[in-house]
Amino acid sequence: MPLLNFTNLDFDQIKANLTDYLKSNSNFTDYDFEGSNLSSILDVLAYNTYIASYNANMVSNEVFIDSATLRENVVALARNIGYVPRSRRAAEANVSFFVDTTDVNETPSSIVLKKGPVASSSGSFGNSSFIFSILDDLTVPVFDNIARFDNLPIYEGNLLSTSFTISSRNINQRFILPNSGIDTRLINVFVFEDGSIKTKYTLKEDLFDLNPESRVYFIQEIEDERYELLFPDGIFGRKLKDGDRIEIEYIANNGNSGNGVNQFLFSGRLTFTKNAIETNIESGISLLTTNLSSSGGDVIESVESIKKYAPKIYSANNRALTVSDYEALIPSKIYRECESLTVFGGEELQPPEYGKVFISIKPRNGEFIPNLTKENIKNDLKKYSIAGIVPVILDLKYLYVEVDSKIYYNSNLAPSSAYVSSVVDANVKKYAESTELNRYGAKFKYSKFLSVIDKSDASITSNITTVQMRRDLRVVLNNFTEYQIEFGNEFYVKGDKFNIRSSSFRVDRLPSGVSQDVYLGDEVDPNNKEKGSIFLFTVSSITTKNPTDAKIVKSNVGTIDYKRGLITLKPINIISAKNKDGQSIIEISATPQSNDVIGKRTLYLQLDIGKSNFEMIKDSISTGLDISSLNNTVDDSSSSYAQGNLVR
């Protein structure tokens, strides 16, 4: 009998192949393969073959990091190339309080806040209560009977501990922390060397700058999101001896669930020592003042992130030379609070700046990185960077997408317009928060966005959606400054003037008699349609749509490049502007040439729901109210923004 070539491992195909194989045997010529008991036997054989092939396929998938799906397997494969996934992150808050020692019998010279729990969330927070702890004792002096604990960082989670004793008889001894949800940044490791000398060991991620006496340890993730500590072998760091005792303290936390807590109750332990006697302090403790609400909590690194960064770290080989090296090292080893980043060489600029690498980072919490953090990142990069390459960290630049949607729906299929609107809002918000946006190099996909709206509810028949893009220009008040703002996308030029819009602001040294708000406008160069000039103008009403209502008060205050999407303002003294989060800004918006907006280079793309408009309109044709379509009006799809108000 000839052997069959299996090209399909589906159950039905396997059974058919087995049947054909038996039919080719003359001993089974007269068998009814569908009606006899042999059919049941073939079912069992096919089912067994199907299960075996499925298991073989799963096993083969799980041995490669690209195709593995189980976290334990992905982590193990990443471990083989030296990658340690980011642990769960504890939310951090900052509080202050003081202790009045007037009622203490013997006024202490200092007070100690013991490590462990310090505060708890006031009341229930999201149907949960959270404990915030510190990892080390904190001692503060007492002045005029007052001990002040100012700007105290506290971390969400409970302080736990475990210990091990080195035994030479246990050749397979492992040091595994029994809890999951540990923040690997918040671990204290102490070794009692020779039975009595307490020495603190530090976490090390590589083998650089180590000698046989270095007190270090390494860490790796194992099964069930737990961690194992590894100690040196006597060549790269001190080797532990028989009888040495290890004490490990760590904070197990709830990740991002602890973010947003802003009210705390004291739950710590305060002591002072007098005549070698430690005494607790139970009174005189003030209420806790919240300096910073809890933030920064995050889940453990995802499988997708491990698959992305582990191979990149391996290929970078602990050196920063190419763009991909920086993209791998910064979020995985240097600044793990990075949510997204973009890196490009200075040779890509116009004019080029050789010898520099430009980096822009979006932190997980907040919009901008503090200057001190920038300096720390640049200092850490020196360990990996090639000599002669200067890293420059740029501030985050947002490119906002605003939409105006007229959504038509069949009222016969919907409970109400409010219901349809709520469903659309939920789906649009979900899309706005997705990873397709909210990152460098993202693309607002117009057709997909239309599909999100259309598929929100069965009653929606169509939508007319127009797109606008916006940048917020941060200005320096009362100072002559030149500004340049880039959109990274070509502008749509509808007319000779007023292709851009801006929010109001005021400037110094305008013609006499002009002391009101001004706006930015543009005029196309008749000799070069790709470029134009910027002027300042005033309007009698901010709702005007008629260009004749605008009064130009100053011309040639800047230039505009429609092709590059670039606006440049000559030195100008702005004395007031719109306030946003403590910053003075001018909102500048334009219609893109393409509805697919891209966040190029340092532009971080976001869909601004708050500035977008969604209007529900009954579809008179679908409802049967206007079968002949005689009364149906058609909305302009080109750009409602271009035909809208002259100003924002």
pLDDT higher than threshold 90 for residue 587: yes
How do residues 40-58 score in pLDDT, each as one tens digit? 788 888 888 878 877 777 7
Q: Which of 60-64, 233-237, 402-406 has the lowest mean pLDDT?
A: 60-64
Assign 483 a pLDDT band (cuts: 50, 70, 90): very high
Q: How far is CA 285 from CA 97, 104, 271, in A?
A: 7, 12, 12
Q: Where are the domains positioned within the chain?
A: 11-62, 92-157+256-295, 159-252, 317-395, 398-648
Residues in the chain: 648
- Full-model pTM: 0.69
Q: Cis omega (within 30 of 0) on the bond before 351?
A: yes
Instruction: Give the per-residue pLDDT at 92.
Output: 92
Please list, in sequence order, all residues whose beta carbon lies within 8 angstroms of the beta carbon of residue 53, skipping any fewer than 6 positions away. 9, 14
Please state, in angstroms and rounded to a whole number, the distance separating the CA atoms of residues 62 and 47: 23
Q: How many CA atoms lie within 13 A of 447 on its CB side?
A: 0
Nearest to 554 by CA among 575, 572, 531: 572
Maximum distance among all alpha carbons in the chain?
A: 111
Assign 1 a pLDDT band (cuts: 50, 70, 90): very low
3-class SS letters over 220-244: EECHHHCEEEECCCCCCCCCCCCCC
Please list, in sequence order, all residues whose beta carbon lies within 8 angstroms of the beta carbon of residue 474, skipping any fewer than 6 positions away. 583, 584, 585
Instruction: Give the per-residue pLDDT at 129.
Output: 86
Instruction: Give the per-residue pLDDT at 336.
Output: 80
pLDDT higher than threshold 50 for residue 120: yes
Domain 317-395: give its CATH code.
3.30.300.200
Please state, in angstroms and rounded to a whole number, the distance separating the CA atoms of residues 370 and 153: 17
> What is the percent of the chain with per-residue pLDDT over 90, rounded to a whole number?
45
| Stretch 54-78: mean pLDDT | 86
Instruction: Give the per-residue pLDDT at 642.
Output: 43
Instruction: Give the per-residue pLDDT at 638.
Output: 54
Please state, in angstroms and rounded to a whole number, the distance separating the CA atoms of residues 125 and 120: 10
How do residues 180-228 score in pLDDT, each as one tens digit? 999 999 999 999 987 788 999 999 988 888 899 999 999 999 999 999 9
Instruction: Give the per-residue pLDDT at 278.
Output: 86
